[in-house]
Amino acid sequence: MKILAIESSCDDTSVALLEATDEKITILAEKTASQIEVHKKYGGVVPEIAGREHAENIMPVVEEVMEKKEKHDVIAVTSGPGLITGLIVGVEVAKALSYLWDVPVVSVNHIEGHIHSPVLNNSQVSLKNITLPAICLTVSGGHTEIVHIKKWGEYKRIGGTRDDAAGETFDKVAKMLGLEYPGGPKISKLALTGNTKAIHFPRPMVNKDTYDFSFAGLKTSALYWLRDNKLKKKNTFLSQIFFPKRITINDFCASLEQAIIDVLTEKTFKVAEDLKPKTIMLVGGVSANKKLRETLQKRAEENSMQFITPNIQYSMDNAAMIGAAAYAKAKKKEFTKWEELEANPNWHITG
Ligand code: KG4
Ligand code: ZN
């Protein structure tokens, strides 16, 4: 089955053409127009600008992917969750192409897309060799969610953030440090040579009896610490109270990264202790964080659980994962009539 997939829920206009079988997903063509350069100066994604950029980029990206390719059988599109300004562009294009080409549409939940990302360009991983039940932690600039996967297609959202997402916390603190968007990769690079114990940042809600997260307090704590310990020359902070030595920007980043990783790890394994999954999955933009991958993998192995995460290239938003998620639905003919297709920015993944 050939699937043309469209993803535009945040700041990437992405289109992919896939050949899907039960054994394998092959990416025939893919193209992503990233908006990072446009949003950089604002320190985060500006929804109105994102919408305009998607509208400008989407047809050239579709044309490039479809160049000289045969007709496909299905169109897959992200209908939610995400920014309404971006979702609308993808959904409207999917509707128009469905009508024009008389090809059915599969409406895909963005988180379900991320859940399928580990199978992309990875000969080691297919849905068949991910042992269920699994717990999937989706961490990105817009999402921090834990989903229980009992069977493929049967999902239960177990917990999520009550305020900022994990990636958003990296991005907002990076902005306070004067680092460019997206801040996650910059903070994790600086953290490589820092001391994770230099500053004790809080681990919000880590011991609370809930599977939910909250990162707003950690962000505020970073802001107050920076206010109280001004940045000096050579990227060192003056920490008057607790440390006789000066703390470097690397120490700050390492301490912050460790706090985020600790919260994500402890919550995931709290869920794992209760639900006893066979597999732990880590997906979404923040899954590109090497230390987070290594920490979760180690804990999973200690608990005799399989650990699954995508190739870093497919951690970020991409259309191929949307196509991969659409395949099983298309086989069951779970199509949405183009007249009924709608963007739903608050679509929670469930059953
Ligand atoms: O999934 P994604 O491409 O888009 C959203 O749906 O948000 O994720 C982007 C997010 C950004 O917040 C970025 O800072 C974060 O992923 N990120 C990282 C790393 N690489 C990307 N966060 C921490 N460490 C990284 N290495
Ligand atoms: Zn995403």
> Are both 97 and 142 inside the same structural domain?
no
Beta strands, E only, 45-186 = 74-80, 105-109, 134-139, 144-151, 154-160
Hey, CA dihedral for 313, 325, 278, 265, is it positive or negative? positive
| Shared-domain flag, residues 292 and 181 | yes
> Is there an atom of ligand 1 within 6 Å of 86 CB?
no
pLDDT of residue 242: 52
Which helix (H) or strand (E) element contains residue 30?
Answer: strand 25-34
* Residue 350 falls inside a structural domain: no
- 118 with 12, same domain: the answer is yes
3-state SS assignment for residue 170? helix
CA dist 345 and 351 (Å) reads 18
221: Cα within 13 Å, side-chain hemisphere: 17
Report if residue 349 sits inside a domain. Answer: no
Burial 298-328 (b: 16+ CB within 10 A, else e): ebbeeeebbbbbbeeebbbbbbbbbbbbbbb
The predicted structure's pLDDT at residue 144: 97
Strand 134-139 relative to strand 144-151, pairing: antiparallel
* Contact 284 CB / ligand 1 (< 6 Å): yes
* Total domain count, the chain: 2
Residue 330 lies in a domain: yes
> Domain containing 185 — which CATH number?
3.30.420.40
Domain that holds residue 104: 2-122+314-340
Ligand number nearest CA of 319 is 2
One domain for residues 216 and 90: no
**pLDDT tens, position by position, for the chain (351 residues)?**
999 999 999 999 999 999 999 989 999 999 999 999 999 888 889 999 999 999 999 999 999 999 877 778 999 999 999 999 999 999 999 999 999 999 999 999 999 999 999 999 998 899 999 999 999 999 999 999 999 999 999 999 999 999 999 999 999 999 999 999 999 999 999 999 999 999 999 999 988 899 999 999 999 999 999 988 877 666 777 665 555 568 889 999 999 999 999 999 999 999 999 999 999 999 999 999 999 999 999 999 999 999 999 999 999 999 999 999 999 999 999 999 999 999 999 999 984
**Same-domain status, 56 and 96:** yes
| Claim to verify: residue 69 and residue 138 sit in the same structural domain | no
User: Do 187 and 218 fall into the same domain?
Assistant: yes
Per-residue pLDDT at 245: 67
Query: Does 183 sit in the ligand 1 pocket, CB within 6 Å?
Result: yes
Are residue 147 and residue 214 in the same domain, yes or no? yes
- Domain check: are 54 and 169 in the same one? no
Q: Which two tokens stand for residue 137?
A: 């932690």
If asked whether residues 285 and 322 sit together in one domain, one would say no
Rounded Cα–Cα distance for residues 35 and 53 (Å): 7
The single-letter code of the amino acid at 347 is W
The CB of 118 under 6 Å from ligand 1? The reply is no
Question: How much is the pTM?
Answer: 0.94
CA atoms within a 13 Å half-sphere pointing along the CA-CB vector of 332: 8
One domain for residues 76 and 142: no
Q: What's the CA-to-centroid distance between 335 and ligand 1, angstroms?
A: 31
**Residue 118 forms part of a structural domain:** yes
Q: Are residues 75 and 31 in the same domain?
A: yes
Interval between CA 140 and ligand 2 midpoint (Å):
6
Residue 351 lies inside a defined structural domain of this protein: no
**Which residue type, as a one-letter code, is found at position 108?**
V
Residue 260 inside a domain? The answer is yes
Q: Kindly identify the ligand whose nearest atom is closest to the C-alpha of 293.
A: 1
Distance 2 CA to ligand 1 centre (A): 29
- Is residue 347 one of the residues assigned to a domain? no
Does the CB atom of residue 117 touch ligand 1 within 6 A? no
Is residue 345, in this structure, part of any structural domain at all?
A: no
